[in-house]
Structure 1
Amino acid sequence: MAAQSGNGGSTNGNRASGPRCIAIVGPFQSGKTSLLESIMERCGALTRAGSVKTGNSIGDASAEARAHQMSTEPNVATVDFLGERFSFIDCPGSVEFLHEMRHILPAVDAAVVVCEADDRKAPALELVLRELEEADIPRFLFLNKVDTASRRVRETLGILQRASRTPLLLRQIPIWQKGIAVGFIDLALERAFIYREHAPSEIVPLGSDEVGREKEARFSMLEKLADYDDALMEDLLGDIEPPRDLVFDDLARELRERHVVPVLIGAAERGNGVTRLLKALRHEAPSLAETRGRIGVVEGGGPLAQVMKTWHSGQGGKVSLVRVLRGQLSEGDIVTSSGGVETRIAGVLELKGAEQSRKPSAGEGEVVALARLEGVRTGDALAAGKARPGIVNSVAPPEPVHALGIGVRDRKDDVRLTAALNRIAEEDPALSVAHLPEFGEMRLSGQGEMHLRVTMERLSGRYGVAVECRPPEVGYRETIRGKAGARGRHRKQSGGHGQYGDVVLEVAPLERGEGIRFVDKIAGGVVPKQYISSVEAGVRDFCQNGPLGFPLVDLEVTLTDGSYHTVDSSDMAFRQAARIAMVEAIPQAKPVLLEPILAVEVVIPSDAMSKASAIVSARRGQILGYDARPGWRGWDQINALMPEAEMAGLIVELRSATSGVGSFSARFDHLAELAGKSADAVVAAHALAHGR
């Protein structure tokens, strides 16, 4: 067995080397950005760590992030630690920006999950851990703010374990003095450390009153490791102290095989516990070769990279954050994306937050920004040359849960708005922009109120486009309850050829979802065949905007009679005659307003069930049933039918009632009649908005 290294790990040759990429993830306000600052300070990339509160952090440098004191997009910093290169990517923790890490994760070697001893944040932690589990990412858990924790670590671990489907493995226990954590005992090294603010911890002798705690906690750690190592199990059963190198090898192997999630403790704002975290990453995080195997990239072949994020900057244009998975990419290289786009690398940039420094090339494992890859999208793979690579990572954008109708305050900004939205949507695939001609509306959809608010701020701050927002239009329809008939005659004489068209139409209701059916029952040629299609066109013209102001659906229109003039009849005359007949017939057929009803599935932590049910019911929701959320212990789902008109702001209420983690999915189900005062209010509001 090789000797144990001075850095606290095995030197048996299994340790990974070369540039590595680590994602820093965790719930909102858990301290991720503070941890990145402390890592940069400890590695000499900063002389002094910045602070989110004072707005001088390297990460979260955008105006929107500073204004809201929250990460709104990934932040990258590359550092050197003990001769090895690491790129850390700090991912947003708010559930509204959680999607930002989905394109980051496939290309990273491991993740550090930052959390704290707050059971209210356990559901949010579960969302983060679930993303990592589904992406199959090896992960450490950094229990932050241990200096201000009010409960013991083992009690906290029990709460955190409920959020993780993989066993949590406690690697360190705190040293307490007067109820304050002043240091920690590393259970693998069997050493005690006292914290030094913004400096590496100091090794101290293990106190006599700590020996019992250390032995008990270490044995518990070894027992968990032994679940996956028969040799270690034999040592423990024989009361044999296992070699330290074997322990470190097991820690590395079981992390990489996703058997356990090692838990380390510290306080990011003070820099406590950061050095031990970095050493654990250095010795135990998987290598790039292992990451390639995980995502299906074969060894050998030409240069290959994964696009993790896209930005547009005012000065440098478009930049694409990539990790080089194989080979080397240089400025001037021709690359082809998995989307089939061929382009040239205009520059290779190393990032430290918002700071960029140019370099000639990027080697295997490095994380860099490539300049001006027009047509290349987030999630694409890039291969050197003209051969199109296989898709390394294809992540579907999340379904939107919040929408706004938007428009410019000044009409001259219409073109600028479209261009700006296209750029912002390219940066953030979770945003969707739709032009809805039916409503004359541009609709922006995303992951929540803050997500869209930040988008509005970017439109104004970065692109100078002032935007007005309103609740999205609802897809009301109208139909008829009864039958009616009417004659429509269009006759006009103005010198020369006149206009003449004459039709008799009957209207009747159809079942929901049958649409508009036109039936020709003309006999004897009273309306020539060449004009029948014009009559149908006139009917459909009218149905685009019924007497209540909305499109007509689910009715049958039958052409029963009419007349024509050999000289004056025309397609246009019969089209107009059909419209006249519809204007007369539909009001007699008892028109009724229809509102769209959506099938909604609400997912919430179980303890929020009563609140969520009340929210759904208050929005005219018809609850169909309750159930446990499949595969999510401690979560439930509500299935309901809800009017589309009640969906605006639903996500805001749900998240307010569930510590930010409740969500829903919705799809169109059917149209239902809306009558009485509710219908009158809708019709009146529509008429007022459209000047009718």
Structure 2
Amino acid sequence: MSNNGNNGTKSPRCIAVVGPFQSGKTTLLEAILARTGAIQRQGSVDTGSTVGDGSKESRLHKMSVEVSVASTAFLNESYTFIDCPGSVEFLHDMRAALPAVDAAIVVCEADERKLPQLSMVLREIEELGVPHMLFLNKIDKADKRVQETLAVLQPASRLPLLLRQIPIWRDGIVVGYVDLALERAFVYREHSASQVVPLEGDDLMREKEARFQMLETLADHDDALMEQLLEEIEPPRDRVFDDLAKELREGQVTPVLLGSALHGNGIQRLLKALRHEVCGLDDTLKRLGAPANGSDAVGYVQKTLHTSHGGKMSIVRVLSGQVADGTMLMGAKGEAARVSGVFKLHGQHIEKRGPATAGETVALGKLDPVVTGDTITSGKAPLAPLVEIAPVPPVLAIAIAARDRKDDVKLGQALHKLLEEDPSLVLVHNAEQSEIVLHGQGEMQLRVAIERLQDRFQIQIATHPPRVGYRETIRKGVVQRGRHKKQSGGHGQFGDCVLDIQPLPRSSGFQFAEKITGGVVPRQYIPSIEEGVKDGLKEGPLGFPVVDVSVTLIDGSYHTVDSSDMAFRTAGRIGIHEALPNCQPVLLEPIHHVDVFCPSDATAKVNAILSGRRGQILGFEARDGWPGWDVVRAEMPEAEIGDLIVELRSATAGVGTFITRFDHMAELVGRAADQVIAAKKAAAA
């Protein structure tokens, strides 16, 4: 394990606290901080008194909406804990923080409904190869045997779940646990260390059986231990602990510990497992493929924050070297910046400190060129990224604008900071609809983004659903004259053209041609007529841009003095404008191809949801590399996709998602078309 300097102590470790929404992650962090003396008493999420979830938005919604960082010490060893949001809408924070941690505590509970969320969290950790253990929380509320709970949880994990403890039951209540490695029994004491009690009677019998199962699982990767079990030789306790540590670090098993974060139960044993069994910085560097013991400072940016007083802060795990106030650090793009302060984080509290050494997790001030996920260095050349964080396709969008136009510039600056803090948000400037559209991972994420814009940046925001990209086209052709004549003293204006307007096949766009003979329209004016026609197609009689139309200039006339480019452009616009109402205009709506990803047991519900939104189901199949998941493929109108994710998440225990791409335009008729046209006219009124 990695050492720090010559003092013989292990280098500071960084531990992620992850798990499904409302599993008790923030409460567990609070219990750890209280047990290790970092805080005087354990706060609660309900009262808004925890170190984690300290932001105004987290406390308002009583949920984690961003990572919280706090450091403490246990038995003279330093730990930084990163409490990660559990909601699927904020998982990007977890994805960005995970690569540089030494291990993860996965907080879960005996709730089968949260299995899909647990599966998603474990998948992220497993793909990164981060050693992890499960903390089975809320054990005081358990109503089934722990082996039954493990059987329920096992499908969520690719690795065998290795039970480290079994509960002690008295009158249907869990009052303590038996440690299978230590072979000792403990009774819980609220918010203090458990008390050792004799291991006897039925508890002893259960311990023998559960311990043998634990050893059997360990022996799958240890031939010598397997031989001892076959020969009924009791393995030395030290050998058992060595195997537990080795197989955790090598990603062969996932240990499971029990407790109740709310009551501070099981915390001491969890901390000891972290101390003795979790790897240190050297192992993390090997996993990341990062150079060890280099002279240059190297760090990984786990999160970006914008504070009201300190400006931009980058939360960085220092991987090698030392970072001090004034250190020049270079980001992935080769731009360097000087560190303006090294800070210790304790939830929302930021405190200036001295230089940070390898293993420590700190906040660095004013690294403007640096973004979340960057590998930074004090060297002379940028480093290749240690890990690539794949972007997550957005699933919900909202159009935003400043209520006061004078705040437009301020809004742009605030959005830039917002996207630096949360790169899973995507901003799109839709010039056609004159909209700024914010895309995200769900309803709550976008709500929090708006709250931050209004509260932190003092900008009042107006929102509405993004406008759908409707078009219109024509069903029949006409020949129409467009004539513009104006006399107002001196030179007048004269332009005259005859247009043959015809429908085109879908997705053909706009085509313009001319069949002028005898010079009835001089050639220099023909491009102006085309531009006038294009002007007229920007908004058809139904109120939307017109597509899939062919216009041919077949005749016209001109005046030697009064004709001009502008006159013929106006004539072209008049001609198309007067013709379109007589061409049987019809509304077109955009149709998207949609791939919905969902647990297999929710596929039937998903099919019903898509069909209920005018979707055409194309089929479904098993999701590649995701056992127990399906991909449902469909074609759906863009208008029906707007809030689709809300219904999907409700039907899939919060984990369903989708990707979408434009496919084609299709006619929209009847009542639905009438409603769209009426809404357009009302908006224009």
Q: Which of these residues, 136, 144, 156, is aligned with residue 151 of structure 1?
A: 144
Q: Does 1:677 align with 2:657?
A: no
Name the amino acid aligned to 2:631. Q
> For each residue in 1:545-598, what CA deviation from the matched residue of structure 2 results, as whole angstroms up to 9, or x when unmatched?
122111111122212222333333222222111111111222222211000111
Deviates more, 1:517-526 or 1:676-685: 517-526
How far apart, CA to CA, are the structure 2 residues paired with 1:645 and 1:573? 40
**Contact 2:228/2:235 (CA < 8 Å) preserved in 1?**
yes
Per the alignment, residue 6 of structure 1 pairs with: none
Q: Which of these residues, 236, 240, 251, is aligned with residue 243 of structure 1?
A: 236
Q: Does 1:135 align with 2:112?
A: no
Q: Which of these residues, 149, 153, 160, is aligned with residue 160 of structure 1?
A: 153
Q: Which of these residues, 45, 48, 51, is aligned with residue 52 of structure 1?
A: 45
Per the alignment, residue 276 of structure 2 pairs with: 283
How far apart, CA to CA, are the structure 2 residues paired with 1:569 and 1:327? 76
Per the alignment, residue 266 of structure 2 pairs with: 273
Name the amino acid aligned to 1:517. Q
Q: Which of these residues, 647, 651, 655, is aligned with residue 645 of structure 2?
A: 651
Q: Secondary structure at the match of 1:527?
A: coil
Name the amino acid aligned to 1:329. V
Per the alignment, residue 255 of structure 1 pairs with: 248
Q: Does 1:585 align with 2:579?
A: yes
Name the amino acid aligned to 1:494. S
Name the amino acid aligned to 1:588. N
Name the amino acid aligned to 2:303. K
**Contact 1:339/1:380 (CA < 8 Å) preserved in 2?**
no
> For each residue in 1:332-363, what CA deviation from the matched residue of structure 2 results, as whole angstroms up to 9, or x when unmatched?
11111002322111010011111111112110
Q: Does 1:17 align with 2:10?
A: yes
Segments of 4+ moved more than 6 angstroms = none
Per the alignment, residue 500 of structure 2 pairs with: 506
Q: Does 1:542 align with 2:536?
A: yes
Deviates more, 1:103-112 or 1:508-517: 508-517
Q: Which of these residues, 285, 293, 299, is aligned with residue 286 of structure 2?
A: 293
Per the alignment, residue 184 of structure 2 pairs with: 191
How far apart, CA to CA, are the structure 2 residues paired with 1:539 and 1:154? 74
How far apart, CA to CA, are the structure 2 residues paired with 1:231 and 1:367? 39
* Alignment coverage as a number of residue pairs: 677
**Contact 1:16/1:287 (CA < 8 Å) preserved in 2?**
no
Q: Secondary structure at the match of 2:302?
A: strand
Per the TM alignment, residue 386 of structure 1 is displaced from its structure 2 partner at its CA by 4.3
Per the alignment, residue 532 of structure 1 pairs with: 526
Deviates more, 1:214-223 or 1:649-658: 649-658
> For each residue in 1:6-51, what CA deviation from the matched residue of structure 2 results, as whole angstroms up to 9, or x when unmatched?
xxxxxxxxx9921111100000110100110111111110111111
Name the amino acid aligned to 1:586. L
Q: Does 1:109 align with 2:106?
A: no
Q: Does 1:604 align with 2:598?
A: yes
**Contact 1:342/1:386 (CA < 8 Å) preserved in 2?**
no
Q: Which of these residues, 311, 322, 341, is aligned with residue 317 of structure 1?
A: 311
Q: Does 1:620 align with 2:614?
A: yes
For structure 1, list consecutive stretches of 5 or more residues without a partner in the other structure: 1-14
Q: Secondary structure at the match of 1:335?
A: strand
How far apart, CA to CA, are the structure 1 residues paired with 2:387 and 2:684? 46
Per the alignment, residue 441 of structure 1 pairs with: 435
Name the amino acid aligned to 1:145. K
> For each residue in 1:637-666, what CA deviation from the matched residue of structure 2 results, as whole angstroms up to 9, or x when unmatched?
321111111122211112222222222221
Q: Which of these residues, 549, 570, 589, is aligned with residue 555 of structure 1?
A: 549
**Contact 1:16/1:282 (CA < 8 Å) preserved in 2?**
no
Q: Does 1:356 align with 2:342?
A: no
How far apart, CA to CA, are the structure 2 residues paired with 1:392 and 1:517? 50
Q: Secondary structure at the match of 1:500?
A: strand
> For each residue in 1:151-197, what CA deviation from the matched residue of structure 2 results, as whole angstroms up to 9, or x when unmatched?
11000000100111111111111111111111111111212222121
Q: How does 1:369-518 map to 2 (within 5 A)?
A: 369-518=363-512
Per the alignment, residue 4 of structure 2 pairs with: none
How far apart, CA to CA, are the structure 2 residues paired with 1:268 and 1:648? 39
How far apart, CA to CA, are the structure 2 residues paired with 1:403 and 1:240? 63
**Contact 1:334/1:343 (CA < 8 Å) preserved in 2?**
yes
**Contact 1:16/1:284 (CA < 8 Å) preserved in 2?**
no
Deviates more, 1:312-321 or 1:207-216: 207-216
Deviates more, 1:413-422 or 1:117-126: 413-422
| Alignment RMSD | 1.6
Q: Secondary structure at the match of 2:257?
A: strand
Per the alignment, residue 5 of structure 1 pairs with: none
Q: Which of these residues, 76, 80, 83, is aligned with residue 76 of structure 2?
A: 83
Name the amino acid aligned to 2:159. T
How far apart, CA to CA, are the structure 2 residues paired with 1:305 and 1:256? 22
Per the alignment, residue 223 of structure 2 pairs with: 230
How far apart, CA to CA, are the structure 2 residues paired with 1:444 and 1:685? 23
Q: Which of these residues, 122, 125, 132, is aligned with residue 118 of structure 2?
A: 125
How far apart, CA to CA, are the structure 1 residues paired with 2:681 and 2:127? 49
Q: Does 1:27 align with 2:2?
A: no
Q: Does 1:326 align with 2:320?
A: yes
Per the alignment, residue 204 of structure 1 pairs with: 197
> For each residue in 1:282-336, what CA deviation from the matched residue of structure 2 results, as whole angstroms up to 9, or x when unmatched?
1221221111121121222511111111111111111111111111111011111
Name the amino acid aligned to 2:156. A
> For each residue in 1:66-96, what CA deviation from the matched residue of structure 2 results, as whole angstroms up to 9, or x when unmatched?
1111001000011111111111000000111
**Contact 2:318/2:358 (CA < 8 Å) preserved in 1?**
yes
The alignment-based identity, stated in percent, is 59
Per the alignment, residue 513 of structure 2 pairs with: 519
Per the alignment, residue 639 of structure 1 pairs with: 633
Relative to 1, partners in 2 of residues 1:115 and 1:531: Cα closer, same or farther, differing over 3 Å? same
Per the TM alignment, residue 58 of structure 1 is displaced from its structure 2 partner at its CA by 0.7
> For each residue in 1:479-525, what CA deviation from the matched residue of structure 2 results, as whole angstroms up to 9, or x when unmatched?
11111121212222333333222222212222222211122333333
Per the alignment, residue 9 of structure 1 pairs with: none
How far apart, CA to CA, are the structure 2 residues paired with 1:155 and 1:335? 51
**Contact 2:9/2:77 (CA < 8 Å) preserved in 1?**
no
Name the amino acid aligned to 2:645. I
How far apart, CA to CA, are the structure 2 residues paired with 1:521 and 1:244? 95
Name the amino acid aligned to 1:533. P
Per the TM alignment, residue 272 of structure 1 is displaced from its structure 2 partner at its CA by 1.0
**Contact 1:335/1:386 (CA < 8 Å) preserved in 2?**
no
Per the alignment, residue 5 of structure 2 pairs with: none
Per the alignment, residue 359 of structure 2 pairs with: 365
Name the amino acid aligned to 1:100. D
**Contact 1:103/1:393 (CA < 8 Å) preserved in 2?**
no
Per the TM alignment, residue 613 of structure 1 is displaced from its structure 2 partner at its CA by 2.3
Q: Does 1:668 align with 2:662?
A: yes
- Normalization by structure 2: what TM-score? 0.96
How far apart, CA to CA, are the structure 2 residues paired with 1:247 and 1:334? 46
Q: Secondary structure at the match of 1:398?
A: coil
Q: Does 1:69 align with 2:65?
A: no
> For each residue in 1:654-689, what CA deviation from the matched residue of structure 2 results, as whole angstroms up to 9, or x when unmatched?
222222222222111111000122111111110110
Per the TM alignment, residue 278 of structure 1 is displaced from its structure 2 partner at its CA by 1.1
**Contact 1:16/1:283 (CA < 8 Å) preserved in 2?**
no
- Normalization by structure 1: what TM-score? 0.95
Q: Secondary structure at the match of 1:269?
A: coil
How far apart, CA to CA, are the structure 2 residues paired with 1:235 and 1:571? 97
